[in-house]
Structure 1
């Protein structure tokens, strides 16, 4: 056997880099990975809406019942019994509210043709304006070389098919929501203990305990305060509509309180509803505009004075961030997303504040340790 000659060492080769090292060292790779992870999470939430939406809603609603659950446990009530009692109380509240809505709403649904005819009568005076707009539209189409108009085809069976298609999915979401609410209330202490086991050191456990307490306290305070505020707004709207001699004032008060949970969008819908009520009950411009304007005044007082005073500065969020959160979650999950948007934003803000406070608390320790290290040398 002949001996192989020694190969010269190859210099200048870059050692292999793992994925983790590339993500940590290169900011472009790090940000790109974060963007891709965000897209994957959003797509997963969209595709699994039937599962995630009721589960997230159960967590938000279950936070309201956290304080009563703790008081019942201190009194010696078994957790399974108190959790089942809270779920039954919630079901009773929903059924009571639904029964209060059904009868007056059915009456007003019968008045929809009258509201539509009144609206058409009011639009007669705007006929000249709409004619000028239509002629301008035709001129623009002619200038752009477009002909014809938009054609709409209506399938008479679409509504029935939609009901039969979405009813099973809706019932499945309701069952999943109630089951998630029960098990969330039942296992809240176990979830906290499981989270504590994720951290091996005492400092990490202290941060986890602080995060749990802060988030639960803020969420429960926010949801209970908003519920009280919305109930007060509903009472004020009902009394105002009763003084204005608007039919079914209790219905409009309850509707105002429920819609006010969805910030911005709920009051806008309520203004449209009250405008329709004005068209159905009023004959002059003042009578038609009085119900929506009265609601706008009450909503302005609630949004600008009552809510900031009750919640305080610690619970005040950036209006632009609130608007983006509501727009995003409504786009993703519809009405459920609009309800949980602000609580989820409050959770994110609380977590960021805890992380920031923890980082700031560690900085003085580092700054004091550095001079000692230098003195030892």
Structure 2
């Protein structure tokens, strides 16, 4: 008798999905991603009190990380170097506050005068504004809408301070604590995350992400800080040359607002125009300070910054605008400061995950050449 081999189980192929089924499947994936994005946005908004100071501390820690690293190379413990970084940051803030407090309070007290000057100079535009007013009244009468009166109950200044002071103090303490422990434990945190990676390839990618994030964020922020200091000095000298009072104040404000790209220079130009109204008799003369500042800012943005940080790190302006708008919408002015560093972190992650994205310049480029056969030992 011949032994019969067991028959292999027949494999049935499923019929291919129709176009409608593929569309439903893709729509479900897109809907899940959209729900996840919305959930992340609401989480960022709801956790602003905790996340905003922590993320800002991480950004500042990445910027001042090279200072701690240089101290640790000379035998300083990580706990001491982290404390030195926190003290250095507080000293910088104290110097900036001491330099800006007196002139800034003086100009804030002159706010009503500046507003009156602005109204006087803008009286030349009364006829176009009257035309717009008539057009608005016609549209309102056509639509049939009535004006809405909104009454706002003003609270006293003491009540506002009593409400906001504990929250501000809590956020400052959380920021300082996060900055200290992030700098002190940055190597332990990296080691712990690498230990979680199960495969060697994943561990290699995560290590490169850490390297690129630290290098790109610290290099960008330190370079931009030096550039902004130079811009502030140039603006102060230019304001002194054209006869603007408190030139050091405008130079310091120009350097600080330049951290928020695009939006900061626009705000600075508006401030200089408003102050120029109180110093010059004509509307054309009031345009001199903002035009001088915009010329210096143009030189910085088009020539100095690309030369210092490299054009390879220049990001898409549209993406930069979206990032700034998003983070200002979520966390206010603080979000405008961390918008570019967060974008750099996302770029670094994408460069190590998505093939073909290699925007981060290498510090050294090693060219391998074939060996000379005369130098090869036989």
Q: Same fold (TM over 0.5)?
A: yes
Q: 1:300 Cα shift?
A: 1.2
Q: 1:338 Cα shift?
A: 0.7
* Aligned partner of residue 342 in structure 1, secondary structure: helix
In 2, distance between residues paired with 1:122 and 1:358? 55
Contact 2:235 2:254 in 1 (8 A): yes
In 2, distance between residues paired with 1:232 and 1:201? 47
2:20 matched to which residue of 1? none
Q: What 5-or-longer segments of structure 1 have no aligned partner?
A: 1-13, 15-24, 361-377
CA RMSD of aligned residues (A): 2.1
Contact 2:350 2:357 in 1 (8 A): no
Runs of 4+ in 1 over 6 A off after TM superposition: none
Count the aligned residue pairs.
338
1:49 matched to which residue of 2? 48
2:273 matched to which residue of 1? 275
Q: TM-score, normalised by structure 1?
A: 0.85
1:253 aligned onto 2:247: no
1:366 matched to which residue of 2? none
Greater CA drift, 42-51 or 116-125: 116-125
Change (3 A) 1:359 1:64: closer
Cα deviation 1:316-345 (Å, max 9, x = unaligned): 111000000111111011111111111111
1:100 matched to which residue of 2? 99
Q: 1:359 Cα shift?
A: 10
Change (3 A) 1:157 1:143: same
In 2, distance between residues paired with 1:28 and 1:134? 47
- Residues 56-75 of structure 1 aligned to structure 2 (within 5 Å): 56-75=55-74
Residue from 150, 163, 166 that aligns with 1:165: 163
Change (3 A) 1:69 1:37: same
* Aligned partner of residue 196 in structure 2, secondary structure: coil
In 2, distance between residues paired with 1:330 and 1:44? 15
1:327 aligned onto 2:325: yes
Contact 2:280 2:286 in 1 (8 A): yes
Q: 1:26 Cα shift?
A: 3.9
* Aligned partner of residue 179 in structure 1, secondary structure: helix
Cα deviation 1:211-237 (Å, max 9, x = unaligned): 111110011110011101111111111
Cα deviation 1:239-290 (Å, max 9, x = unaligned): 1001011000000000000011011111111011001111111112332110
Q: 1:77 Cα shift?
A: 0.7
In 2, distance between residues paired with 1:317 and 1:219? 13
2:376 matched to which residue of 1? none
In 2, distance between residues paired with 1:250 and 1:205? 49
Residue from 337, 340, 353 that aligns with 2:338: 340
The structure carrying a bigger helix percent of its residues is: 1
Cα deviation 1:184-210 (Å, max 9, x = unaligned): 001000011011101223222222221
2:122 matched to which residue of 1? 123
Q: 1:85 Cα shift?
A: 1.1
1:349 matched to which residue of 2? 347
2:84 matched to which residue of 1? 85
Contact 2:228 2:259 in 1 (8 A): yes
